[in-house]
Chains A and B, each alone.
Chain A
């Protein structure tokens, strides 16, 4: 999984590409550091280029959400592909964080 960062007036947008699995936990920690250091109270993860998401990756997203709650910023998941959106819905992730379709 790779990610690119973009700062927009409303906050920080990180776009994730490829497959996001346990193997990416080091990369996600770097992403988490970027999220923590970003200004403002809103962070967005753009998932539109994501091809796959495993349960460990779901766990990492929940860790990021938890970090945000502690630090006072919100995490939004944007435009997940259909299968990933279904997985997020079945896992009731949409009840924990905002998912923009």
Chain B
């Protein structure tokens, strides 16, 4: 019995293959199988070259020139690919460098340094919020003390008014008694009159002090209200916002690291591709030369 090896799905380039579809006996079939396997492992230019070599000398010369031309063209295209891969590699490298930095006020700053400076600014803002809160409360307590002292001064003025009223009554009584005493009370009349004048002066001064105290009280009250408006502005939410901003900064930095790593890999792949293509070109050259 004869085993048959039939080549199916033949490549178009197999058209010139030496008797690839022939029938052989059993002893030769293994060798043929091996040959066929090797044939399928060959690249298109290699098959073309092989086909050209196995033809008759006349046809071989003509095909040889065609194969050399095809290999040379392929080499040129590979060279072009290698150049593109190198440019791609350089561009990816440039993007990696760009991703690591940021332009700020005409200066290039590493991105992580820029994000840390944002964090430092936020911390400064929080410190300012705390400082404002503390000083506002100190002011509130100081104004509370002023209000308390002014109230004390108002009470003192009230006491002065009370004493002055008594003094006025005393002067009035002294004047009545002086009149009753006739000539003998003349001196007392003068003193009573003087006391009455002093009482009026004291009353006037007391009124002025009370007016000023009222003015101070009003000013302190207004200041207290303004301060209260400032102090009641709750900025705790702004402080809490730092937690979200911290997370955002951390996310941005992680994303940048991943982005840089991916670009680095892209640059590496482009470089590997370039080297592989260079190897292919080097592999094609001897064939082109020997064909």
Contacts and interface: CB of A to CB of B under 8 A. Distances in A.
Interface of A: 21-23, 25-26, 29, 53-56, 58-60, 62-63, 66, 86-87, 90-93
Contact of A56 (B123, B144, B234): B234
A22 B236 CA distance: 12
A56 B240 contact: no
Contact of A63 (B126, B127, B132, B137): B137
B239 A56 contact: no
A90 B243 contact: yes
B193 interface: no
B76 interface: no
B133 interface: yes
Given A21-B234, A54-B236, A59 B141 contact: no
Interface of B: 123, 126-127, 129-130, 132-138, 140-141, 144, 228, 231-236, 238-240, 242-243
B141 A63 contact: yes
**Which residue, B127, B135, B137, has most C-beta atoms of chain A within 10 A?**
B137
Q: Which 9 A-B pairs have the closest CB atoms?
A: A59-B133, A55-B235, A54-B234, A59-B137, A62-B134, A59-B134, A22-B232, A56-B231, A55-B133
B236 A92 contact: no
A59 B239 contact: no
Contacts of B141: 25, 29, 63
Contacts of B126: 90-92
Given A54-B236, A59-B136, 10 more contacts: A25-B140, A25-B141, A55-B129, A55-B133, A56-B231, A58-B134, A59-B135, A59-B137, A92-B123, A93-B130
Contacts of B130: 55, 58-59, 62, 91-93
A23 B234 CA distance: 12
B127 A62 contact: no
Nearest to B138: A63
Contacts of B243: 86, 90
A52 to B, nearest CB: 8
Contacts of A66: 134
Contact of A87 (B144, B232, B240): B240
Nearest to B227: A22
Nearest to A83: B240
Nearest to A52: B236
Contacts of A26: 144
Contact of B236 (A29, A60, A63, A87): A87
A54 B236 CA distance: 5
Nearest to B127: A92
Contacts of B233: 55
A91 B238 CA distance: 10
A90 B122 CA distance: 10
A53 B133 contact: no
A29 B148 CA distance: 14
A75 B109 CA distance: 42
A55 B134 CA distance: 9
Contacts of B132: 59
16 contacts: A25-B140, A25-B231, A29-B144, A55-B129, A55-B234, A56-B137, A56-B234, A58-B133, A58-B236, A59-B231, A62-B134, A62-B137, A63-B134, A86-B243, A92-B126, A93-B130
A62 B231 CA distance: 14
A61 to B, nearest CB: 9
Contacts of B129: 55, 91
Contacts of A86: 240, 243
Contact of B239 (A22, A29, A55, A62): A55
